[in-house]
Amino acid sequence: MASSATELGGLSDQEVVLRARSGREAAYRELIRRYERPVFALLFRMVRDRELAEDLSQETFVKALNAIDSYRPEFKFSSWIFKIANNAAIDHLRRRELDTLSLDGSPHAETPEAMQATALQIGARQESPLDTVEAKELGSAIEAAIGSLRPEYRSCILLRHVEGRAYEEIAEILNLPLGTVKTYIHRARNELRVSLAHLKE
């Protein structure tokens, strides 16, 4: 299994998709390995609920992998899966009003254990408890500021600055004209600058 993963690790997304189409389970797992974190991160920041983001990520991958035959290799696989993920998030946001962001656990958790279980697992960037608190506060402020943006602005700014996607790719993922994507990103940055102005002080 390890040798298979190593072999697949050196292939392009399109080549891995070809192997998945021919029925290799390892190729499906390789696609999940490559995109589970970016897809989950995008969905979490879109819906701001860990459990829900995980459900939507699962739904995204199941939908994409079961329809792998309909993927057209002339397009980027990343664009395709982000498009499915973004549609899942937008569909959900249209159906439900969002709650405020909680880094301490899902707002839907009913017990302290459930809150703990759904709390976000922040990477080990911090070195001391003080750093941890400061980074968590800063992270909370940025996450909250991103969460307060309109969903369309949110998708654009996350795809641009977290995922590092080109404007053309963002336009393709979101089915928006290129000019609209540029405007949304510009406006999103302006709104974030205003929201985060207090951090400078």
Partner 1 sequence: MSSSPESHLSSEQIDAWLGGSPDAVTQNHVSQCQLCQEQLRADQEIAELIAGLPLWSPTSGFADRVMASVRVPDPFAFRSLEATRRRMLATPKSMAFAASVGLLLLGSMIASITWTLGHQATIASFGSWVVAQSGQAMWLGVRGIALNIIEQPWYAWVSGFVGNPGRLALFSALVSLAYLGGLLTLRRLLAIPTQRVAHAGF
Q: What are the tokens at 28? A: 């499906």
Report, in Å, the least distance between residue 158 CB and partner 1.
8
**Does residue 95 belong to the site contacting partner 1 (CB under 8 A)?**
no
Nearer to partner 1, 98 or 142 (CB): 142
Find how far residue 131's CA is from the centre of its chain. Answer: 25
Contact between 129 and 78 (Cβ < 8 Å): no
**Does residue 23 belong to the site contacting partner 1 (CB under 8 A)?**
yes
Comparing C-alpha atoms, which of 86, 41, 33, 96 is closest to residue 63?
86
- For partner 1, the binding residues in 158-187 under the rule CB under 8 A are 158, 161-162, 164, 167, 179, 182-183, 185-186
Report, in Å, the least distance between residue 93 CB and partner 1.
18
Residues in Cβ contact with 115 at an 8 Å cutoff, skipping those fewer than 6 apart: 104, 105, 106, 109
**Does residue 150 belong to the site contacting partner 1 (CB under 8 A)?**
no
- The H helix count followed by the E strand count for the chain is 11, 0
Report, in Å, the least distance between residue 110 CB and partner 1.
19
Distance in angstroms (rounded) separating the CA atoms of residues 86 and 94:
12
Comparing C-alpha atoms, which of 140, 116, 35 is closest to residue 82?
35
**Does residue 69 belong to the site contacting partner 1 (CB under 8 A)?**
yes
Judged by CB under 8 A, the residue of 11, 14, 54, 144 near partner 1 is 54
Q: What are the tokens at 112? A: 């302290």
Site residues for partner 1 per CB under 8 A: 1, 3-4, 20-26, 28-29, 32-33, 36-38, 40-41, 44, 50, 53-54, 57-58, 61-62, 65-66, 69-70, 120-123, 125, 138-139, 142-143, 146, 157-158, 161-162, 164, 167, 179, 182-183, 185-186, 189, 192-193, 196
